[in-house]
Chain A
Amino acid sequence: MSDITSELHKYLEEKNINAIFLSIVEEILHNKPENPIGFMVNFILEKYPEETKGFGKQQLQERTKAPSFVSTEVSSNDDIGETDSECSSVNTIESDDASSLLCDELSISEKSPVQKKRRESVCAEQLTEVTVAESELKVIEKSETEAARILYILKNNVFFNHLDEYQMKTVQDVMFCVERTDGDVIIKQGDDGDNFYCIDNGIVEIFIDSPKTGERNLVRTCGDGDAFGELAIMYNAPRAASCIAKGNVRLWALDRVSFNVILMKTTIAKRKSTVDILLNIPVFCLLTEFELNTIADTLQEAIFEDGTVICKQGDRGDKFYLVHQGTAVCTKSVADGTSVEVARLSTGAYFGEIALLTKQPRQATVTADGSLKCFSLDRRTFNRVMGPLREMLMRSIDEYAKSDAQ
């Protein structure tokens, strides 16, 4: 290596030039700014405040006429705080007017009309509760390992991983086997989409035909465990690509109607059975149907292993539980320090509902006996969504009294 090259290398390494350029390129690609030069200037000023001190940020920004676009990332799924402290997290920032002024200036200086297209609406076929209740689902027998492979694929797919255990199993049950040989077209670009596929084994190549040139381009090669055609489980849209078997392929397919029927059926059944239980609980029985449905949909699944203590006598409770599957044991400690079993709770039983009403200590200790599945709801969530239960009860009692008086 010549002296000059090694000197350059040394310099690049010492000053960390590669990393700096990489971060600039990354940020540019991420934001795709209209004005890349101005964007880079702002990016450097913001990322390296120490190094760029005295470069006159304001003047530079005005001269380059570009907004600073260093993105800040948030996840909308994050817990973003309780409503009670609404917006308090942003109270520390400069006043609304001051910040809006800055933004107004920046966006005005940056007008550059781009070609935006009108976006079309999409819509699935309508399923009524009646058709759903009447439709029969065809269960396809599978070996244990086949079923496990399907479940694994579904659990790792963002369109399915939200399903609960029962829904997952039901979806797996109705998936049917499709076998294809080399060159077979599984999906043809432009056709109606009915099925979603996952590959049990084999290779599938995905091609897109350019509408202009008619040229066919390979865009992706899928193998065991990969999935394609997800859009078809949501609504009917023309297929965006063609999928062709390379060698022998074994696939599992799921059709949109079955998928939607399963989800709607299980969701409605689960809500109904939960509401039926809630109706038998004194603190809930006077609430309206809408309120009960809302509570049912707000309940969270909670799974406990054998021996887990769910709540402890004397502790301040803040959660209400419904037993969904399994058994829980209630014990109370007696004078001599030992504890005695006072009840066993199974499917449909409930405990801790008083916690939604007051901060009273728990009356007993509840422990999972074997694996236990519950639905639970904490007081904060309850208050946020429904308002205080105490007020709801007062209202119900008032209404009850009124109707009784008439």
Chain B
Amino acid sequence: MDPLALEYSSIADFDVGVTLGTGSFGRVRFATHIKTKEHFAVKILRKVDLIKFRQVEHVKSEKAILHALSQDQHPFIVNMAASFQDPCYIYMVMECVIGGEFFSHLKNARRFTNLTARFFAAQVVLIFEHLHAKDIIYRDLKPENLLLDKDGYLKITDFGFAKIVSFKTYTLCGTPEYIAPEVLLNKGHGKGVDWWTLGILIYEMLAGDPPFVDEDPVGIYRKILTGKVHFPRTYDDYAKSLTKKLLTADLTKRYGCMKRGASDIKRCNWLVETKWEALLKRDLDTPIKPELSSITDTSNFEEYPEEIDIAKPPIYDGPDPFENI
């Protein structure tokens, strides 16, 4: 057995620090491995809530997919170093991505310039290309699930809805503003959904808001199914052309879904000048450089109240569905 894996076998091996993010089933905290002084972000999920909200299968699948993906150490994916559990929690020890949430950077900027948006869009293309080559669809792209590393490169996180699918799958999931029409129609969906969400992300980066918005989800879904997109005048023409090709309901015409796959996107006018290899090697200048005083500076993350789950959640009294993962 890998000697390191042994030392990462319990939360007691870590000095757990501030909260970096929260979700429906737990939170992510900054953590320092006591022995090696290495820094991590530990995702801590409450088992009772996972069971109550029927997320057991999703977490199992997330863990398996992260484990498989982490073998490759892709530069734009938040890799997992280890995972373990105790009676109350599931822990996933993730590499620490210190530049803050992409969501906060976009929120503060209101919208990105064309060049900035293009830089991030290109990285998402590389991420999806990598995942799809492994038959993994991600299904939940949105600014909330992207982080910036210390240099300002993207890292995608939260693989809760990711799935290994060779052809199509059927469970509706995602985030209302980002859900593709074929997902709403319940007729089965595949890798194409990720390219749709890229179209929404590009739009949100350039326009400040996603293209289909409404006060309630049914209103959003109506707009998605009707398919009318209004572009602000400031929207770059080449970006608009790609956005339209990604936000195409007809899967025989959506970019990314056809014979040439992602290369249709990589060769479109908006992205054609991207230096793909240099980008993958993180050899380019980044448009947003997070301000950091040290590698443990968590000031790029928003502050979260810490006291909330100091009380341990109850232990689920039925058989533990996580026993063998």
Interface residues, chain A, CB within 8 Å of chain B? 30-31, 46, 67-77, 79-80, 83, 86-87, 89-91, 93-94, 96, 99-100, 102-104, 106-108, 110-114, 116, 118-127, 158-159, 162, 230-231, 234-235, 237, 240, 259-260, 263-264, 267-268, 290, 293-294, 297-298, 381, 383-387
Complex Cα distance, B144 from A259, in Å, reads 31
Which of A67, A108, A116, A123 is the one whose CB lies under 8 Å from B232?
Answer: A67
Between-chain CB contacts (< 8 Å), 9 pairs: A30-B230, A31-B232, A70-B233, A79-B253, A80-B248, A83-B260, A102-B234, A127-B171, A297-B188
The interface stretch among B78-86, B107-115, B123-131 is: B107-115
Complex Cα distance, B186 from A234, in Å, reads 8
Q: Are A71 and B187 in contact (CB under 8 A)?
A: no
CB of B184 closer than 8 Å to a CB of A: yes
Q: Are A231 and B218 in contact (CB under 8 A)?
A: yes
Which of B161, B250, B260 is the one whose CB lies under 8 Å from A123?
Answer: B161
Contacts of B206 in A (CB 8 A): 103
Complex Cα distance, B176 from A120, in Å, reads 8
Contacts of B270 in A (CB 8 A): 96
Which of A75, A112, A114, A237 is the one whose CB lies under 8 Å from B217?
Answer: A237
The 8 A CB mask of B221-234 against A (1 = contact, 0 = none) is 11001111111111
Check A100/B114 contact, CB under 8 A, given A126-B171, A385-B258.
yes
CB of B173 closer than 8 Å to a CB of A: yes
Check A103/B234 contact, CB under 8 A, given A90-B269, A113-B107.
yes
Q: Are B233 and A83 in contact (CB under 8 A)?
A: no
Which of A74, A89, A121 is the one whose CB lies under 8 Å from B229?
Answer: A74
Which of B115, B187, B218, B225 is the one whose CB lies under 8 Å from A100?
Answer: B115
Check A74/B114 contact, CB under 8 A, given A116-B107, A158-B225, A234-B221.
no
**A128 shortest CB reach to chain B, Å:** 9
The 8 A CB mask of B179-214 against A (1 = contact, 0 = none) is 000001111100000000000000000100000000
Complex Cα distance, B264 from A301, in Å, reads 27
Complex Cα distance, B112 from A398, in Å, reads 50
Complex Cα distance, B259 from A86, in Å, reads 14
Q: Are B259 and A384 in contact (CB under 8 A)?
A: yes
**B28 shortest CB reach to chain A, Å:** 13
CB of B103 closer than 8 Å to a CB of A: yes
Q: Are A69 and B241 in contact (CB under 8 A)?
A: no
CB of B29 closer than 8 Å to a CB of A: no
Complex Cα distance, B170 from A116, in Å, reads 31
Contacts of B177 in A (CB 8 A): 119
Q: Are B236 and A103 in contact (CB under 8 A)?
A: yes
**A221 shortest CB reach to chain B, Å:** 17
In residues 236-254 of chain B, which contact A (Cβ within 8 Å)?
Answer: 236-238, 240-242, 244-245, 247-253
Check A159/B173 contact, CB under 8 A, given A87-B269, A103-B114, A122-B217.
no
Complex Cα distance, B177 from A401, in Å, reads 49
Q: Are B226 and A158 in contact (CB under 8 A)?
A: yes
Complex Cα distance, B186 from A193, in Å, reads 17
Complex Cα distance, B190 from A290, in Å, reads 12
**A371 shortest CB reach to chain B, Å:** 25
Known: A83-B260, A91-B269, A384-B259. 19 other contacts (CB 8 A): A73-B230, A76-B228, A76-B248, A83-B258, A87-B238, A87-B241, A99-B237, A103-B206, A112-B110, A122-B173, A123-B171, A159-B221, A231-B218, A259-B186, A263-B187, A267-B188, A297-B251, A298-B252, A384-B253
Complex Cα distance, B98 from A98, in Å, reads 34
Which of A71, A86, A90, A158 is the one whose CB lies under 8 Å from B231?
Answer: A71
Contacts of A385 in B (CB 8 A): 252, 257-259
Q: Are B172 and A123 in contact (CB under 8 A)?
A: yes
Complex Cα distance, B113 from A381, in Å, reads 36
Q: Are A124 and B171 in contact (CB under 8 A)?
A: yes
Q: Are B233 and A72 in contact (CB under 8 A)?
A: yes
Contacts of A384 in B (CB 8 A): 252-253, 258-259
**B251 shortest CB reach to chain A, Å:** 8
Q: Are B258 and A121 in contact (CB under 8 A)?
A: no
Complex Cα distance, B292 from A195, in Å, reads 51
Who on chain A is nearest to B212 by CB? A76
Contacts of B247 in A (CB 8 A): 76
**B250 shortest CB reach to chain A, Å:** 7
Contacts of B242 in A (CB 8 A): 87
Q: Are A110 and B110 in contact (CB under 8 A)?
A: yes
Complex Cα distance, B245 from A112, in Å, reads 30
Complex Cα distance, B304 from A80, in Å, reads 45
Q: Are B115 and A104 in contact (CB under 8 A)?
A: yes
CB of B175 closer than 8 Å to a CB of A: yes
**A248 shortest CB reach to chain B, Å:** 27
Contacts of A107 in B (CB 8 A): 110-113, 234
Q: Are A118 and B144 in contact (CB under 8 A)?
A: yes
Contacts of A69 in B (CB 8 A): 232-234
Contacts of B233 in A (CB 8 A): 46, 67-72
Complex Cα distance, B241 from A297, in Å, reads 26
Which of A75, A77, A118, A259 is the one whose CB lies under 8 Å from B103?
Answer: A118
Q: Are B113 and A104 in contact (CB under 8 A)?
A: yes
Q: Are A234 and B227 in contact (CB under 8 A)?
A: no
A158, A235, A381: most-surrounded residue (chain B CB, <10 A):
A158
